Amino acid sequence: MVAIRPLEKKVNIKKYKYYLLIGVVILILIGVFQSQLRQIGSFIFGVTIDKTIDLIERDNSFNVLIMGKAGGTHDGPDLTDTIIFSRVDVKSKKVDLISLPRDLWIKSEERKINSIYALGQIDGKKGIESTRKVIEEITGQKVDYVIVVDFAGFEKFIDALGGIEVGVETAFIDNEFPIAGKEDDLCGRSEDELELLSTASSQLEAFPCRYKTISFDRGSVEMNGQTALEFVRSRHGTNSEGSDFARSKRQQKVIDGVRDKLFSLGVILNPVKVNELYNIVKDHLEMDIPVEKFDDFVKLAQKMEEGEIKSTVIDYGSEADERFGLVVNPIISEEYRYQWVLIPRKGNGDFSEIHEYIDCIISGNDCLVGETGFVIATPTIKKSEEAN
């Protein structure tokens, strides 16, 4: 039983620093949920609205929902394939980042969680409002603020930094990396062939021109924007690099590279570079937070510099790693519109165990997920402590 892994105008430096932090979050939102980066805490504390002060005085905590979408010309540009529920505890200087799976089925909406924002946007730009309601249903927690980041600025941001250096731990090859703009290409197939292709064993076999092969060798690799994007988004890699868990570990490496480059003396103190990065990031962000309220929480962020960041992923576990999860993959059926989905292991629409687990996490406990439930782990006593 193991734990779930879990900017000829005067430059306004304070404003630009805020957007630089958002730039880091663009990368985080690709799927990284296991980093103990102080920048994450700084970002979350650097953005909020006037009622946050009231929240802090009331219970010393507030919640932020952070979502990432592909944007641009990508297939399904408003699908939020990255969803992070963030609990900020000001008193204890702790931030909990809890990632929810994009394929989680929402019984009350009869669709996957990653489509809620997209449908809300079609219905009078109500994406944030619609998603907030669903996330509160899943987590059992109030969502105070929502931030949505568009991945379209990812490559430009990395290139504007002059590239980054990333340590690749495991070499892999991915023969099914999608080519942007080729999502509907018939690859020279005639209309008569399409019906026959429906029985193909994979999309790669049916439409090979939609994909390309990418590969990475182990070691330190210099990456530009395109290469970094491929590295963090690959989903079909060899050597066990095809899982979301492995993808999150790769993305951690990219965050490390961006952090080192972004907060280097040359970038932060270069007004021209800061302005360039600011202009990239600001065009790829949506939130329900007014800009005039940032300053108060920039000050709060400074106080939280040494705060603790804890990341957790709610998933279906891994037999190979002997990890149990809180969700399961049910048999594909009409109930789920014949889609591959995840539901709570307690049953479709029953989020009670997830509520309890999140309560356990934000209470500061080390919560271990077992086969039928979870327990609060007993803290490990170090030998040096025993000697005292």
Please write the tens of the pLDDT for every residue from 143-187.
988 888 777 777 888 888 889 999 999 999 999 998 877 877 888
Residue 361 burial (CB count, 10 A): 20
Q: Tokens representing 332?
A: 């594909």
CA distance linking residue 203 with residue 210, whole number of Å: 9
CA distance linking residue 159 with residue 144, whole number of Å: 34
CA distance linking residue 70 with residue 152, whole number of Å: 6
pLDDT-derived band at 235 (thresholds 50, 70, 90) equals confident
257, containing H or E segment: helix 244-262
Rg (C-alpha) for the chain, rounded Å, is: 22
Pick the range with the lowest mean pLDDT from 230-234, 291-295, 326-330: 291-295
Contact 89, 362 (CB under 8 A): yes
Q: What is the mean pLDDT of the chain?
A: 75
Q: What is the mean pLDDT of residues 192-207?
A: 70
Tokens 């889609």 -> residue: 339
Q: Tokens representing 75?
A: 């297939």
* Nearest alpha-carbon partner for 351 in 32, 53, 85, 5: 85
200, containing H or E segment: none
The DSSP letter of residue 198 is T
pLDDT-derived band at 290 (thresholds 50, 70, 90) equals low
pLDDT score recorded for residue 71? 72
What's the pTM? 0.70
Listed by start position, the domains of the chain span 13-156+259-387, 176-216
Q: Which CATH number fits domain 13-156+259-387: 3.30.420.590, 3.40.640.10, 3.40.50.2300, 1.20.120.160?
A: 3.30.420.590
The DSSP letter of residue 210 is G
